Structure 1
Amino acid sequence: MSQTTLLERVEPVARDVLALTLRGRHGPLAPWQPGAHIDLSLPNWLQRQYSLCGDPADPDRYRIAVRREPLSRGGSEYVHLFLREGRELTVSLPRNNFPLVPAPSYLFVAGGIGITPILPMLRAATALGAATSLVYTGRAADTMPFAQELASRHDTRIGVGRADLTALAADLDPSTLVYCCGPEAMLAAAEDAFPTGQLHVERFRPRTRQFPANRPFELVLARSGLALPVSQDEPALDVLDRAGAGVPAGCREGVCGTCEVTVLEGTPEHRDEVGGAADRLYPCVSRALSDRLVLDL
């Protein structure tokens, strides 16, 4: 399901970073919680995912931030060069793979554009009376979006370079949850430094990982009984697309969760970054450990 918005405001918030404010074209937009993201459909036929970094209490507007990537695949470059205020844009309903779990205290760690999902989390945690602290770093001061907006907070440390996550972990209270978003080097360091049960991370790009060699398997669409062979050389999502199964797709990298389908029988092989449950499959990248998967399609 999609929503129609008008691009109300385009604002530079750091070097090569634009904040976009999207207003509902036909009234209020779908509600969301901190950590959520949307798919933005661009006029050049590309679709990209962006974290919501505005105020969940504002029913009429979404805010996102888009960094211009040096090796853009056409999405961020289009936003920076061609999008103008007043343009009508289609967005998805919000999805949240990075929810804020209730806790008495939080440590938020952000790097660069990774501040976007953290911003509403920080506000929500503060409003709930939880103890909060933020460590926010970047390559240079002018590359860090919303740094001025955050500078007045007494619980915030903003700096250039790498944060000493090992030192932060050494002082971490067992009741504190850690939320981290940023470049892969930061996320990998966080996973090494903090206890698994206290750490929540969100990736904008998939990790480089090794998996067993692809093996063929079968998808069965439970509602029609259609059986679809998946060869070792093709993604399951492509097979579903050819069959007209109507599975939406976003990043096609196993990060956004757009293509989630429910597994009724069989064992998925999760190759995604969403943290899929045993009864979920993200067919853009994930495959099967069993000979067949029966899907709720």
Structure 2
Amino acid sequence: MSQTNGGQLAPARSALPDNNPSPLAERALTSESRFLPSHRFIISCGTVTLDRKAGKVLLVYNKPNGIYQLPKGRKDIGEDRLPFTAIRETLEETGYDVQPLELEVPTRSTPVHVAAPIIRAVITTQDTTVDASDNKINGATNGTSKTAASASASASTPPSAAATSSAPKDELVDVDGDQVPEKGLTRGIPNKEPIACSHWYDAQTQALKMIFYFAAEADSTAQPREQRPEDAAKHEVYWIEYEDALERLWYDEERKAVEKALCDLRRSE
């Protein structure tokens, strides 16, 4: 036994157990996986924002690209809660103050356990309310530009398209979650977990881009905040009825995100 800096005895190396992988660990080792360093992935978040009373969903029309899409954007440095990112980006792109929508989302996040309130009490986290005094909303910068993540990538081989998705194809379109293994799946508990995610290899940055979508709600008749000039120049904002929105959305994964939100909404009513 050797003594550590903290004064406690650490076992000698010869006393440490050897690896003795179980069949499950062996299968995990041989399953397709890939390591990505920090400069090889992008985390983005967006919302499917609904006006349940009007039966409409909030979309942005991207004028430079000529397409309808969901409001979304990259996580800022220091944002430690993805729902905050989704709400902030929606506010920046649309001017609407949206609120997280609690639904019965089937999720593989673990249910809250007894120790959770104690743990949360000693961890300082952000509030999901975006204040009007936020520098980004008022047009000031926070020291990092939106193009910072497109800095030069390393010379390592970028992930191939095949490596970005190894899930069975039918799982990728199973919006109701009825055809998936139940192990580790929590149902029937209202929550604000991500309703979906999409990912692909972005050739411009040579990074894997991951987008997490959250359900949100807002009043389509409310007066939105004034957008920043750069956002107003790029985006037009529309509340569009559900079926029409599904036809207008350009990206297939965003149509599926709206379908998933509506499926979770029906399940929760």
Query: Normalized against structure 2, the TM-score is what?
Result: 0.23
Instruction: Write 1 or 2 for the structure with the bigger share of strand.
Output: 1
Larger Rg: 2
Instruction: Write 1 or 2 for the structure with the bigger share of helix.
Output: 2
Which gives a bigger RCO, structure 1 or 2 (Cα 8 Å, sep 6+)? 2
